[in-house]
Amino acid sequence: MTSAEPRNHRRVGRRAFLVGGGGLAAGAAGAGTAAWALTRPAPTAPDPAPAGVLPPDDDLMREHGVLKRLLLCYREMIRRVQAGGPLSAPDLHDAALIIHDYIEGFHEGLEEGYVFPRLRAAGQLTDIVTTLLVQHARGRVITQFLLAQASPAGVARAAARTRLAAAMQAFDRMYEPHEAREDTVVFPAFRQIVPAAELTDLGQHFAELERQQFGTDEFTAMVARVAGIEQALGIYDLSQFTPEVSGYAPS
């Protein structure tokens, strides 16, 4: 199996949902013409991106949104374990698998292949980039541990649940600031140093890479999976997070 092939049926992608057939065709064409963008000066008026194709930094931030929702799932599982409750092995496995396949196997590959090298070559944020790379590697170790232990037998003992909760907590504690720093510092810096025309091409290329890896029309299925985990954990209903403010109301 090549890495471009779906690893299993649960792997998911969303690009076709955003792009559609016309966008995919344009993405392929863009990938074939992008080499010049590395050497030519930025045009004053770049070609507009095809409808539905996101700029690469917007694309990466949307993927961060998926990660954020999964971190909230982890947080709820941690809360339950710390309260002495059960830990659902299927929910843990499903959340960790999406992180493994979609975040660590795809999203982070884009960052490592396209974003970080450009910043390093420009001499920008080099220390932060090194830290982010180390955190990617540490996160993969934690996810592999979670996947290996996410079975009925693996969560049966209280000590094992406590260890899993600690692993999720370490992952969550690392990725909250990790993705926030990327969104607010790293991606804006990347956007500053990459010419506008190349950003357009890169957005198209990201779309094509996602189509190659995950196929078409899978974004809604992936979001549904994340929502399904949230529903199982009782955290899907957004309104439950709205606080009462009567105690804070101006007098």
Partner 1 sequence: MRPSRPERGSARSRRCLRALPAAPLAALLLVSGCGGSSKSSAGTQASHGPKVTVLARSVPGVGQVLVTSSGYTLYMFQPDDRRTVTCTGVCTGTWPPLMLPSGGVAVAGPGIKSSLLGSDPDPAGGRVITYDGWPLYTYTGDVQPGQATGQGIDLNGGEWYVLRPSGAPLIPAP
- Distance of closest approach, residue 212 Cβ to partner 1, in angstroms: 6
Tell me which residue of 130, 112, 101, 126 sits closest to 218, measured CA to CA. 101
Q: Decide: is 1 part of the binding site for partner 1 (CB under 8 A).
A: yes
- By CB under 8 A, is residue 195 in contact with partner 1? no
Joined together, the tokens standing for residue 13 give 């992608």
The minimum distance between CB 240 and partner 1, in angstroms, equals 35
User: Which residue's CB is nearer to partner 1, number 88 or number 200?
Assistant: 200
Joined together, the tokens standing for residue 98 give 């999406």
Q: Which of 42, 51, 137, 166 binds partner 1 (CB under 8 A)?
A: 137
Minimum CB separation of residue 37 from partner 1 in Å reads 7
201 interacts with partner 1 by CB under 8 A: yes
14, 64, 93, 136: which one contacts partner 1 (CB under 8 A)? 136
32-51 residues near partner 1, rule: CB under 8 A: 32-39
Q: Does 170 bind partner 1 (CB under 8 A)?
A: no
Cα pseudo-dihedral 143, 147, 149, 150, rounded to 10: 120
Of 69 and 211, the one with the shorter C-beta distance to partner 1 is 211
- Of the candidate residues 20, 46, 52, 109, the single one contacting partner 1 (CB under 8 A): 109
Q: Who contacts 164 (Cβ-Cβ below 8 Å, separation ≥6)?
A: 81, 87, 92, 146, 149, 150, 154, 155
DSSP state of 112: I
Contact 53, 35 (CB under 8 A): no
198 binds partner 1 (CB under 8 A): yes
Contact by Cβ (8 Å): 65, 219: no
Contacts of 32 (CB under 8 A, 6+ apart): none
The residue ranges that bind partner 1 (CB under 8 A) are: 1-5, 7, 30-39, 100, 104-106, 108-114, 116-118, 120-121, 126, 129-130, 133-134, 136-137, 140-141, 144, 198, 201-202, 205, 208-209, 212-213
